[in-house]
Structure 1
Amino acid sequence: MQLSEQLARAFAAMGRLLNEHSGTEVLSRPDFAVLIRLPRAQEVAAGAEEVRPRDLARTEGLDPSTMSRRLASLTSRGLIHRETDPTDGRAQVLFLTEEGHRAVTQERARRVTLVTDALQGWDEADTAELARLLGRLTDTLGASGSTS
């Protein structure tokens, strides 16, 4: 079986595992993907880059109107806050609220627990090698995407 097929199987299995434990789910996968890209207001004040809706749509490969609906939902749930961009009054910048930060932290911990439990029978060398190789693949894919 080719690597791409193995990766597809791994992602599908992870998705099923996350869905099976959805009773404890804090965030949907698409919401989590958006929220992990947003800084907290104090991080921006300390020099972190601001995030705009159009940047998120591009990063996630979504149509701006789809991203707009997702952001409206996250705003109404109190997970994000929007402010007028100080450098461009026509645009908005997005921040995690404290509730959004708590939700991301909770969901991240849930996901770590699911993976940690799944790898419980693996020896330390195998888990370290898997982490190293996945990191390398992610870096390579990220570099490939930035040049196209």
Structure 2
Amino acid sequence: MQLSEELTRLFTLLTRVTSEHERGAVLARPDFLVLARLGRSGWLRPGDLAQLEGLDQSTLSRRIAGLAERGLVERQSDPGDRRAHLLRLTEAGLAAFEAEQARRVRLVTDAVTQWPAPELAELVRLLHELNESLQQRIAQ
């Protein structure tokens, strides 16, 4: 099926073009994903973050330690359970996330700057419809 092949190709190309090994990434992809989740969720326990990101606790602990060393994530004791702690983005973490997100968006939008306006508008319309369809599936 052509749609399946083109979507697979698109996902592969998006991963390659936004790779942290190319074009001056501010954050490695795994760090970007963790910061994105914290940005959407606010304070989270490490275990909850690991579950949401599909990571084992030890992998996430090393990643969080690195992000905290860089001043991108802060830890605070959980007021409901002093044995546990919560994580959230710092201002520097939010700035790094936003810079990397903007870089990734630019990489894709720069690829279509030469497209005729009607074709670009059609792409936007179709992507919106795809996003809405996927969002409905998640809500079910």
**What range describes the TM-score normalised by the shorter chain of this pair?**
0.7 to 0.9
| Partner-residue secondary structure (3-state), 2:27 | coil
Q: Say yes or no: does 1:12 pair with 2:12.
A: yes
RMSD: 2.6
Letter in 2 for 1:116: T
Give the alignment of 1:1-148 within 5 angstroms.
1-19=1-19, 22-39=22-39, 49-138=42-131, 140-141=133-134, 144=137
CA displacement at 1:10 relative to structure 2: 0.8
CA displacement at 1:123 relative to structure 2: 3.4
Gaps of at least 5 residues in structure 1 are 41-47
Q: Which runs of 4+ in 1 moved over 4 A?
A: 138-147
Overall identity of the aligned pairs, in %: 51
Distance in 1 between the 2:135 and 2:48 partners? 16
Aligned residues: 140
Gaps of at least 5 residues in structure 2 are none
Letter in 2 for 1:57: A
CA displacement at 1:31 relative to structure 2: 0.8
